[in-house]
Amino acid sequence: MAIASISVSETPLVLYTLRRADDALILGHRLSEWCGHAPMLEEDMALANMGLDLLGQARELYSYAAKVEGRGNDEDKFAYLRDVRQYRNLLLLEQPNGDFAQTMVRQFFYSAYADLYWRAMMKSSDATLAAIAAKSEKESAYHLRHTSEWMVRLGDGTEESHARAQAAIDHLWAFTGEMFEADASERGLIDAGISVDSASLRPQWLKTVADVVDEATLALPKNDWMQQGGRDGRHSEHLGHLLSELQSMQRTFPGAAW
Amino acid sequence: MATPNTPLWEVFIRSRNGLAHKHVGSLHASDATMALQAARDLYTRRGEGLSIWVVPSSAITASDPADKGMMFEPAESKIYRHPTFYEVPDEVGHM
Amino acid sequence: MYTQALNTSDADDRHVEDAARAAAFQARIDAEERIEPNDWMPAAYRKTLTRQISQHAHSEIVGMLPEGNWITRAPSLRRKAALLAKVQDECGHGLYLYAAAETLGASREELVDLMLSGKAKYSSIFNYPTLTWADIGVIGWLVDGAAIMNQIPLCRCSYGPYARAMIRVGKEESFHQRQGYEIMLTLARGSEEQKAMAQDALNRWWWPVLMMFGPPDQVSQHSDTSTKWKIKRFSNDELRQKFVDATVPQAQYLGLTIPDPGMKQNAEGHWEYSSIDWDEFKQVLAGNGPCNRDRLAARRKAHDEGAWVREAAQAYAEKRKHRQLAQAAE
């Protein structure tokens, strides 16, 4: 017997907050998959620290979404009782860990964005989101620093590491466009000063990314085709498997408290 | 094949301003930047630090315990360096 | 903690191991002095400690795997964060311990290679599988509880770096056992299904946990010299008894039954347990536990698949050094 998924009243602010919460949870979950399996013990520590930062962000954002929605949902119901079509995270973040290069490139692309995004969101007219942004900005800034160092080492390390890093960039590039999209439901929030227009962050993001990639002796793809759909619940096949693992206890033992 | 060694670093942490950096342990890293980040992730997970130093272990020169006698015992007899060596009557008060 | 280089200094010609030195060393131990990395020490003391500390480190690292098995399936976000932090702590503890072992002159790489090749041991408990979420509760409550029982006296171990590492580990570990007991308490107060899950986990883990303290005193091969050198301050059986006495009331509070029908309290208040199946212990140590092969395979995979990353970092460091030298020469 499996428990039914919850329904969510996706008012613009609820939807907006859930999208960012899902980003943090899914990426944090991916990082947690590394625990015990990293290339070196010191990096095991680093990956878990980044994962814990993201899990913390997810919990605060889910709790806020629950409060705004006001229908008795909570962080665990959002995380454990929504199906793949109800998840709103960026496609980039659900991509499998792959090798260490793929994990680092994924984290680097996102952290370079999150650093700018949270810094801008500190000025949000929504006090809770501004407070979450203030905390998350410091975390993202460190993630960007750590992943930038790795980008340079992988790119300018050995022939093998260079090839792996370049392959990861080429593979993940098409998922980066989605970070800078805003649909109609977000437009109103941008106008109200609650959200920032992500599109305005892209030039700075591109500069940050290009500088590091250049130092790493790597190259950004010329191809500008970008995948979309995560924000509307149209995901890659990978997310369903992630969720079946993440949600297995809640689905197997409906209603139990742990 | 034996795994090649990554350099060893000693880690020193200042737990709060006003205190000196204190040796907390060591770690392995390929270079100073990575050593500093690894020290942050390993030794300050519970807010133990405000400042970190990392030093290549090979850069430390240590005294030899076998030289303990000549290195440190001569100082032990210089009791006149300590305030309790001098007599000041109680009536004079704290000095 | 100090350097490899310091400990490989010309020890052989200058420090000829002799009876007078050994006696002076023992006198320092008897006076409760701490031994530090560059102090003279008998070769056997160095060897014993290198083995014990590195095995302890391997146990922390292999110990990440059974609990790591549940990080992606933790049943709430609160539990997920706590479990990830706990397993990460174990990695940290492994690192503190490898650092302590390295002060004795071995490199982490060679110690890890010994583990990966199956020549070095790690705690037998980690060769059992985590089948249900309740296993995560039992591991925190009992496995960490038993580890803490072992670690408290090690904080006063005669070897300074090991003692300091244990103090740091002990401080961090206090949340681990509480985390596990809280999981058990939640299960014990939950549905019939959850209670059964908790009892089943206790049934499976109880005896292997008692084996964690090592063979009974009459057959323990390392105990005598370790006691003389104050590496070990309590015997295996003494620690096991302390653990059982501490655990029985905790199990009672949970409403769980310790799977030992013959267990009874004696006149001194100690809980007497039935005889332990030491054949099982020997089998697990010999590599025949349910998960020995899986655990080693997982560690080897991480090590092998990480090789190119470590090489890249090293290659970059060398390139940068050359560039800086070239710049300085200009």
pLDDT classification of B66: cutoffs 50, 70, 90: confident
pLDDT reported for residue C187: 98
Q: Which residues of C touch A37 (CB under 8 A)?
A: 68, 298, 301-302
Establish if C36 touches chain B: CB-CB under 8 angstroms.
Answer: yes
pLDDT classification of A187: cutoffs 50, 70, 90: very high
Question: Pick the residue with more confidence: C232 or A25?
Answer: A25
Window 186-205 of A: residues touching C by CB (8 A cutoff) are none
| For range A7-31, the mean pLDDT | 97
pLDDT reported for residue A75: 98
pLDDT (tens digit per residue) in C14-60: 455 578 999 999 999 999 999 999 999 999 999 999 999 999 999 99
What string of DSSP letters covers C37-73? TTS---HHHHHHHHHHHHHHHHHHHHTHHHHHTTGGG
pLDDT reported for residue C222: 62
| Interface residue of A33, A44, A94 to substitute, partner C, most C CBs within 10 Å | A44
Q: Which residues of C touch B62 (CB under 8 A)?
A: 2-3, 6, 38
| For range A114-138, the mean pLDDT | 98
Window 90-119 of C: residues touching A by CB (8 A cutoff) are 91-92, 94-95, 98
Cβ-based burial of C103 (10 A; exposed 0-12, middle 13-18, buried ≥19): buried
Neighbours of chain C (3+ CB pairs under 8 A): A, B
Share of chain A above pLDDT 70, in %: 99
Q: Which residues of C touch B64 (CB under 8 A)?
A: 38
| For range B39-48, the mean pLDDT | 94
Q: Which residues of C touch B31 (CB under 8 A)?
A: 313, 316-317, 320
Window 79-138 of C: residues touching B by CB (8 A cutoff) are 88-89, 92, 95-96, 99, 102, 107-110, 112-113
Cα nearest neighbour of B68 on chain C? C39
Dihedral in degrees, nearest 10, Cα atoms C142, C143, C147, C148: -40
Q: With an 8 Å Cβ cutoff, are B37 and A153 in contact?
A: no
For residue C35, the 8-state DSSP code is B
Q: Which residues of B touch A49 (CB under 8 A)?
A: 41, 45
Residues 6+ apart with CB under 8 A from B45: A45, A49, C88, C89, C92
Residues of chain C with pLDDT under 50: 1-14
The structure's pTM equals 0.94
pLDDT (tens digit per residue) in A208-244: 999 999 999 999 999 889 999 999 999 999 999 999 9
pLDDT reported for residue A4: 82
Q: Which residues of A touch B30 (CB under 8 A)?
A: 153
Cα nearest neighbour of B25 on chain C? C1
| For range B17-27, the mean pLDDT | 94
| For range B66-80, the mean pLDDT | 90
| Interface residue of C112, C303, C316, C321 to substitute, partner A, most A CBs within 10 Å | C316
pLDDT reported for residue A195: 97
Are A179 and A92 in contact by the 8 Å Cβ rule? The answer is yes
Q: With an 8 Å Cβ cutoff, are B26 and C110 in contact?
A: no
pLDDT (tens digit per residue) in C170-194: 998 889 999 999 999 999 999 999 9
Nearest to A173 by CA among A213, A235, A131, A223: A223
Share of chain B above pLDDT 70, in %: 97
Establish if C304 touches chain B: CB-CB under 8 angstroms.
Answer: no
Are A113 and A178 in contact by the 8 Å Cβ rule? The answer is no
Are A40 and C310 in contact by the 8 Å Cβ rule? The answer is yes
| Interface residue of C7, C60, C95, C176 to substitute, partner B, most B CBs within 10 Å | C95
The ranges assigned to domains in chain A are 12-252
ipTM value: 0.97
Q: Which residues of B touch A43 (CB under 8 A)?
A: 38
Q: How far off is chain C from A237, nearest CA to CA, in Å?
A: 18
pLDDT reported for residue C221: 64
* Assigned CATH topology for domain A12-252: Ferritin (1.20.1260)
B28, B37, B41 member nearest A149 (Cβ): B37
Q: With an 8 Å Cβ cutoff, are A36 and C190 in contact?
A: no
pLDDT reported for residue C7: 40
Q: Which residues of B touch C170 (CB under 8 A)?
A: none
Q: With an 8 Å Cβ cutoff, are B57 and C5 in contact?
A: yes
Written in H, E and C, the secondary structure of chain A is: CCCCCCCCCCCHHHHHHHHHHHHHHHHHHHHHCCCCCCCCHHHHHHHHHHHHHHHHHHHHHHHHHHHHHCCCCCHHHHHHCCCHHHCCCCHHHHCCCCCHHHHHHHHHHHHHHHHHHHHHHCCCCCHHHHHHHHHHHHHHHHHHHHHHHHHHHHHCCCHHHHHHHHHHHHHHHHHCHHHHCCCHHHHHHHHCCCCCCHHHHHHHHHHHHHHHHHHCCCCCCCCCCCCCCHHHCCCCHHHHHHHHHHCHHHHHCCCCCC
How many C-beta neighbours within 10 Å does residue C249 have? 10
d(CA C45, CA C229): 8
Q: What share of chain B is helix, strand, coil (3-state, %, to 5)?
A: 40, 20, 40
pLDDT classification of B39: cutoffs 50, 70, 90: very high
Window 12-71 of C: residues touching A by CB (8 A cutoff) are 61, 64-65, 68, 71
Window 28-87 of B: residues touching C by CB (8 A cutoff) are 28-31, 34, 42, 45-46, 57-58, 60, 62, 64-66
User: Looking up tokens 């770690």, which residue turns up?
Assistant: B27
